[in-house]
Structure 1
Amino acid sequence: MLDALTVATSVAALALAAWCGFAAYRDQPTKDWHFIGMAVVSLLALVQLVVGIVQLARGEKPEQGTVIFVGYLLGAFACVPAVGFMSLAERTRWGSVTVAAGGVVLAVLEVRLYDIWGG
């Protein structure tokens, strides 16, 4: 697994969480700029998904099992889009809280992916 990509995705997810957490603190829903941030983080997660699948296809194996690794990859990819859709349904400050929580969850998933791969 590419360590730099994992770190970049984690930092971007935490930045998104802080940004949306600040919006929630100011009692604001998610705005268009937040969705652009979610798209950037989702793109990083997509790149990580592709890199992980390519590494598996090349014969590299994670230390803790392929099935759990793929499961975490898919979960990391789906995390931010899922909370983005949830924040569209909840157009209050709680939509921003949802995205902030999703960013923290994605950062934790990235740490776990690093551990599963054998970092």
Structure 2
Amino acid sequence: MFVPLTVVTAVAALLLAAWCGWAAYRDQPTKDWHLIGVAVVSLLALVQLVVGVVQLARGEKPEQGTTIFVSYLVGSFLCLPAAGFLSLAERTRWGSVTVAAAGVVLAVLQVRLYDIWGG
């Protein structure tokens, strides 16, 4: 597993969570800037998905199993886009809460991916 990418993705997800949490605290819905942040962090998760699949294709094996590793990779990639779409449907502060929660979940998934790989 490419550890610097995992750390950058987790930190970016936590920063997005804090930003959207601040918007929720101020009773604001997600705005276009928040959704751009969702797109940037989702792009990091996509890069991590590609890197993980390439490592598996090269014959490297995660310590806790390939199936669970791929499941976590796909889940971490889909986490923020799903929350972004939900926040578009819910144009209140709860949309911001949804994205903030997804950012925290993505950071936790990054830690779990590191553990699964054998970190």
TM class, shorter-length: over 0.9
| Distance in 2 (alpha carbons) for counterparts of 1:102 and 1:5 | 18
Give the paired residue count. Answer: 119
Q: If the length of structure 2 is used for normalisation, what is the TM-score?
A: 1.00
Percent of aligned pairs with the same residue?
Answer: 83
Are 1:57 and 2:74 counterparts?
Answer: no
Matched residues in 2 for 1:37 and 1:28: separation?
A: 16
Paired position in structure 2 for 1:76: 76
Question: Match for residue 5 of structure 2?
Answer: 5
CA deviation string 1:69-106 (max 9, x = no partner): 00000000000000000001100000000000000000
Are 1:37 and 2:37 counterparts?
A: yes
The residue number in structure 2 matching 1:25 is 25
The unaligned stretches of length 5 or more in structure 1 are none
Q: Considering only aligned residues, what root-mean-square deviation do their CA atoms show, in Å?
A: 0.2
Q: Report the AA paired with residue 66 of structure 1.
A: T
SS in 2 for 1:9: helix
Runs of 4+ in 1 over 2 A off after TM superposition: none
